[in-house]
Amino acid sequence: MRRSGAGRGLRGRPASRGKGRGTPSFGSRNVENRKQGRPISKIDLFFRYIFEEDMRNLREVLQTDSFSAIRPFNDQGIPPLHFAVLNKRIKSLKCLVEHIDRVHSQTDIDFQDDEHGQTPLMVAAELGWVEGAKVLLENGADLTVKDEEGHTAREYGLLADSKQVLLLFDEWKKKNDIPEEVVEEEEVIFETSTQKNRRRRKELEKQERSTIELATTTAPVKSGATETDKKIVSDILNNIDERTRLSCLADWDELKLAIHELRRDLNIDRSDAQGEQGSCSGFVIDPTLWSYDVLQRLQLRIPNGSLTSLPEDLGKLSSLSALIINDNSFQYLPESIGQLHALRVLEVENNRLEQLPESIRQCKKLEAVRVSGNKLRSLKSLSEATDLVSLHCDRNQLEQLDLDFTCMSRLAILSATFNCIKQLPDSIGCLENLTTLQLSGNEIQVLPNGMGDLKKLQTLSLDENPIRDKKILKILTKGKKPMKEFLQYVKKQRGRNKKSKSQESDEESEAEEEEEED
């Protein structure tokens, strides 16, 4: 196998990168926070539990909807599962794998990171960590998955010269009848993403030129060519001309390649890019992006602090069904987002939004919205999203859930942890399909009686709220069937309240009659 530099891993990274991306920087950040008296964030605590193998707290955190084996990433962009492998924390790895099995999300075991598309098994192979690789394989990790550059976990093991990992993989393949990979060592050439995109683009350009030559030298020049033949050739040329024009205008390699291949899914990460002056202040989004109107899914990251919003040209992407712009520094969304009538998924987590645009009311097909980690004070603009299935609005500045729940019968997941919510609307009981309700870290004292109608509720978190009725907390923490007991209790309380109101009304009537007699 050809190597890209002695003592270095794939794409020229150090083979021992786990140490550089894992323990020291994570620990040093915690130390710095403590020295300066700043509170450590919940995400930092989550990764500390993984690193310290604090099983009790780790399992407790994983019970909340905000944390899982693959979310959230730490400040270096590393998913929890990968972090456990990088730091060789076998107990934490087993705990995360158990969580994947418990929530029936088996595909998470092969979750690929945003940087290079590596799975946890690839990371374990690169580190030569046999014990971790074995745990992952025993829990469904796939040896045939490839990263962004087409490399499998076995190729990572080959590059790391880890005989034990390779032996484990070979035995596992033989035991499970997995076909052998055909890998000739001298023919394996590792390319960077940019090199691969450029090579692929050149191949496509060559194919395109051949198509044009074929189209212009066949049907039109044939004697007696029909009008149908001419129209077919004309359509081919027009289609190629438009794609070629857009491709020539595009500055970003990822966009050029997507246009050539007519991709409907585009993931662009320019978080490390610099502007013309060598800083992020001069950063500009490739304007050709907004002319690529066949795009259906766009995931975009830009340098932190470079732009306060996406341009109004966003509204030109009329086919867009998923917009994922997490971890940027946007302060607002353009009003043109209302023109995205096909939009079903909107993720704008960890930005600086203070409000949602009124025009978002026109996005009536929205099914999944994630706006956690912003500065939102209201969700009223989402009231007309009647097809909403999941809503995550954690870590904002919400004082109430000002949504019309009477029209949101499909809503199944509602997470609004760590806000300033003081009271829940009684209409929350109209959410007949609600299964998960996360409200930890708010200022709720009394629960509305309508919650007794949430028949499908399976998960409810109310910790870190000043709930007056301590029996509710006792039921949720110590009950044998907490959800069933909770719903029955709330219904009983509703009946008692009605009875007490009726008695009060009768007493008032009697008092009025006595006054009349006097």
pLDDT at residue 266 greater than cutoff 70: yes
pLDDT at residue 137 greater than cutoff 60: yes
Q: What is d(CA 21, CA 26) in angstroms, rounded to the nearest whole number?
A: 8
Predicted pLDDT of residue 64? 81
CB 338 within 8 A of CB 362: yes
Confidence of residue 201 (pLDDT cuts 50, 70, 90): low
b/e for 209-233, b at 16 or more Cβ within 10 A?
A: eeebeebeeebeeeeeeeeeeeeeb
Question: Which residue has better confidence, 165 or 243?
Answer: 165
Q: Of the given ranges (387-391, 404-408, 495-499), which has the lowest mean pLDDT?
A: 495-499
Predicted pLDDT of residue 2? 33
CB 33 within 8 A of CB 39: yes
Compute CA distances 75 → 29, 157, 273, 381, whole Å: 10, 27, 18, 31
pLDDT at residue 26 greater than cutoff 80: no
pLDDT at residue 50 greater than cutoff 60: yes
pLDDT at residue 418 greater than cutoff 90: yes
pLDDT > 70 fraction of the chain, expressed in percent and rounded: 72
Most confident option among 18-27, 261-270, 402-411, 494-503: 402-411
Predicted pLDDT of residue 148? 83
Torsion, Cα of 449, 450, 451, 457 (10° steps): 150
Indicate the residue type of 181.
Answer: E
Residue-wise pLDDT tens digits, 340-372: 999 999 999 999 999 999 999 999 999 999 999
pLDDT at residue 278 greater than cutoff 50: no
Question: Which residue has better confidence, 32 or 258?
Answer: 258
Q: What is d(CA 64, CA 57) in angstroms, rounded to the nearest whole number?
A: 12
| 423 DSSP β-pair partners | 400
Q: Mean pLDDT, the chain, as a whole number?
A: 78
